[in-house]
């Protein structure tokens, strides 16, 4: 009873605050800021670490530099302070999103019960629980072609399920791997994994490309690689990136799973500071999520020839290396595959994707799953950064899911067809 009273009080208190903030015309916002001088760079680094904000781009304050756009999520309660600070230092900003709350609300709304709603299951974002249900249903509805494989569990002990799509009877099986949602706040990623599975099962023998791919390859899909973080973005903090393991030394929470793999682990571009957004963890594969994926791929490396990891946002088709500026031995081949995929997206969807080796296209980022998979021997290894380029960022509205997924799908098909051809 005491608990309930307390909870109600808290609820009252918070609804009161947000009401007051809203009355003053304040909302959670996303600002775009381009620092022009070193002093402005330092102010921005300071703002993004000292105040209650979430840096959207770049991934960590250390990458903020002159003449490069910074995207900063600013909650209503620090909005005035932050804007004053910017003004004091003559830093101009643009408002990318004036009312992020409204967008967040839109993304979690479940209008499936509404018969007037025309959006399908795949054009909405889904809670972790819904994704688990979907995995179950997908397997039950396709008993001869879909299997679920439990590859491990998260740090908070949630299961990590991989769907195996197997539509051919080739004796010498080839396979591709797709994981989605390494980073919790990139909601379009799990949405893509669901989209891809649905498309594969629905369009086999309807669409020529997917038929040819599935006739030659099995597909392993891990829809949510970071379930703890994903759950946390639904319940508590929409901007969470890392997993949810607790660092004993600092009390800070979360390892960046895409810095936790054994590929020049924790060198420049990662941080050994547990409170950082790009914390590499205590040692390579210290996290159960990355270890589960690595173990699975190690034991399937003879069949898996194509590795793909789905992220957002910025619209890029990346391949190794990200952990060094060196070129991989098959750089030319990977470059041409990415180029062809980007051209298809441009032709069919009039949308631009950058492509290239990770380190040269964005920044040095060691310990990534794509580089690790490449070094393991999976020579066709890619990371896709899906829509958009910053307009909505991580808060891509549900109405954009179908286009974002369809353009990524065309890129996956293009590259998979090439891989089939070459292996």
Q: Nearer to Zn ion by C-beta: 43 or 411? A: 411
Return phi, psi of residue 341, to 5°. -65, -45
Alpha-helical runs (H) found in 318-399: 331-349, 358-361, 369-376
Cis peptide before 58 (omega within 30 of 0): yes
CB of 312 to Zn ion, least distance (A): 7
Using the rule CB under 6 A, is 378 a contact of ligand ARG?
Answer: no
Active-site annotation holder among 277, 285, 287, 385 = 385
Asked if residue 31 lies in contact with residue 71, where contact means CB atoms within 8 angstroms, the answer is yes
CB of 146 to ligand ARG, least distance (A): 28
Exactly one of 288, 358, 393, 398 binds ligand ARG (CB under 6 A); that residue is: 358
Place of tokens 């530099």: 65
Using the rule CB under 5 A, is 71 a contact of Zn ion?
Answer: no
- For residue 192, what is the DSSP state? H
Alpha-helical runs (H) found in 236-368: 288-299, 331-349, 358-361
Q: Which residues of 265-300 are buried (b: 16+ CB within 10 A; e: fewer)?
A: bbeebbbeebebbbbbbbebbebbbbbbbbebbeee
Exactly one of 281, 356, 368, 393 binds ligand ARG (CB under 6 A); that residue is: 368
- Binding to ligand ARG (CB under 6 A): which residues in 250-269? 258
Binding mask 165-194 for Zn ion (x = CB under 5 A): ------------------x-----------
| Strand partners for 177 | 220, 307
Q: Nearer to ligand ARG by C-beta: 134 or 321? A: 321
Using the rule CB under 6 A, is 79 a contact of ligand ARG?
Answer: no
Taking CB under 6 A as the binding criterion, the range among 7-15, 82-90, 194-202, 368-376 that sits at the site for ligand ARG is 368-376
CB of 287 to ligand ARG, least distance (A): 14
**Number of shown-chain residues binding Zn ion (CB under 5 A):** 2
Tell me if residue 385 is catalytic.
Answer: yes
Q: Nearer to Zn ion by C-beta: 358 or 398? A: 358
Using the rule CB under 6 A, is 288 a contact of ligand ARG?
Answer: no
Where do the DSSP E strands lie in 171-327? 174-180, 217-222, 304-312, 316-319
Exactly one of 287, 371, 388, 407 binds ligand ARG (CB under 6 A); that residue is: 371
Using the rule CB under 5 A, is 311 a contact of Zn ion?
Answer: yes
Strands 54-57 and 70-74: antiparallel
Helix axes 188-203, 128-141, angle to 10 degrees: 10
Residues at the interface with ligand ARG (CB under 6 A)? 59, 258, 311, 318, 322, 358, 365, 368, 370-371, 383
Show which residues are catalytic. Answer: 385
């Amino acid at each position: 009873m005491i608990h309930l009273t307390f909870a109600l009080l808290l609820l009252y208190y918070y609804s009161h605050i947000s009401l007051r903030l809203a009355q003053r015309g304040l909302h959670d916002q996303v600002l775009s800021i381009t620092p022009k001088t070193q002093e402005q760079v330092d102010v921005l680094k300071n703002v993004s670490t000292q105040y209650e904000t979430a840096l959207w781009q770049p991934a960590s304050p250390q990458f903020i530099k002159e003449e490069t756009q910074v995207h900063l999520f600013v909650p209503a309660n620090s909005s005035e302070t932050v804007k004053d600070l910017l003004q004091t230092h003559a830093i101009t900003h643009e408002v990318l999103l004036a009312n992020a709350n409204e967008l967040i609300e839109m993304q979690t709304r479940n209008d499936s019960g509404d018969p007037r709603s025309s959006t399908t299951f795949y054009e909405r974002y889904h809670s972790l629980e819904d994704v688990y249900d979907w995995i179950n249903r997908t397997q039950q509805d396709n008993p001869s072609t879909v299997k679920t494989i439990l590859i491990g569990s998260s740090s908070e002990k949630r299961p990590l399920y991989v769907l195996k799509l197997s539509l051919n009877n080739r004796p010498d099986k080839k396979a591709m791997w797709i994981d989605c949602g390494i980073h919790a706040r990139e909601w379009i990623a799990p949405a893509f994994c669901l989209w891809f599975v649905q498309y594969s099962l629905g369009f086999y023998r309807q669409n020529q490309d997917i038929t040819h791919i599935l006739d030659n390859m099995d597909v392993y899909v891990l829809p949510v690689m970071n379930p703890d973080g994903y759950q946390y973005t639904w319940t508590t903090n929409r901007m969470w990136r890392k997993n949810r393991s607790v660092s004993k030394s600092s009390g800070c929470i979360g390892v960046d799973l895409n810095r936790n793999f054994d590929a020049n682990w924790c060198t420049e571009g990662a941080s050994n500071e547990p409170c950082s957004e790009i914390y590499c963890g205590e040692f390579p594969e210290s996290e159960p999520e990355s270890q589960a994926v690595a173990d699975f791929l190690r034991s399937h490396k003879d069949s898996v020839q194509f590795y793909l990891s789905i992220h957002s946002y910025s619209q890029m088709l990346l391949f190794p290396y990200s952990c060094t500026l060196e070129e991989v031995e098959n750089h030319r081949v990977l470059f041409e595959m990415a180029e062809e995929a980007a051209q298809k997206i441009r032709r069919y969807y009039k949308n631009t994707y950058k492509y290239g080796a990770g380190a040269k296209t964005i920044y040095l980022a060691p310990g990534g799953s794509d580089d690790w998979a490449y070094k393991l021997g999976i020579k066709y290894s890619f990371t896709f950064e899906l829509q958009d380029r910053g307009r909505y960022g991580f808060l891509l509205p549900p109405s954009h899911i179908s286009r974002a997924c369809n353009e990524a799908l065309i890129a996956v098909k293009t590259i998979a067809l090439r891989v089939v051809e070459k292996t």
